[in-house]
């Protein structure tokens, strides 16, 4: 079976773009669009990697990532955080809560693909 990724993002155009890029590269892509039950969705799907937006309805990506890192089943799951805000403080917080990588929107297709593949191969 191929590599699987769960995209937790509330903007349909971003989900569509990431899904297109990654499925073309052989990934199985699923998406989830709210923060409230994102952790449950991750446990249910058991993806190889998560792409997590910082600003989600119901709960922030930072809070979700804190939960993932505190759980033995998901503490080493690769997580690429996406945010529209790229200030140094956002990047520092993402690293502090355990993001594997951090990317600001807008991003290029090649950036996403390179980051995701690098995270899985390391």
> What is the rounded average pLDDT of the residues 11-28?
96
**What CA–CA distances, in Å, run from 18 to 5, 75, 76?**
10, 24, 22
**In percent, how much of the chain has pLDDT > 90?**
89
pLDDT value of residue 1: 53
| Tens-digit pLDDT profile for residues 97-106 | 999 999 999 9
Q: With a cut of 80, say whether residue 121 has pLDDT above it.
A: no
What does the block give as tokens for 34?
């709210």
Domains, the chain, ordered by start: 4-121 (3.40.50.2300)
Instruction: Please tell me the pTM assigned to this model.
Output: 0.95
Q: With a cut of 60, say whether residue 122 has pLDDT above it.
A: no
């Amino acid at each position: 079976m191929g590599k699987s990724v769960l995209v937790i993002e509330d903007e349909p155009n971003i989900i569509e773009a990431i899904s297109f890029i990654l499925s073309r590269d052989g990934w199985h892509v699923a998406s989830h669009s709210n923060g409230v039950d994102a952790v449950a969705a991750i446990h249910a799907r058991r993806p190889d990697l998560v792409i997590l937006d910082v600003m989600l309805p119901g709960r922030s990506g930072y809070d979700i990532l804190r939960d993932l890192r505190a759980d033995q089943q998901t503490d080493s799951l690769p997580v690429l955080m996406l945010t529209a805000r790229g200030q140094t403080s956002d990047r520092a917080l993402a690293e502090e809560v355990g993001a594997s990588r951090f990317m600001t929107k807008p991003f290029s297709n090649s950036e996403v693909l390179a980051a995701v593949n690098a995270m899985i191969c390391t």
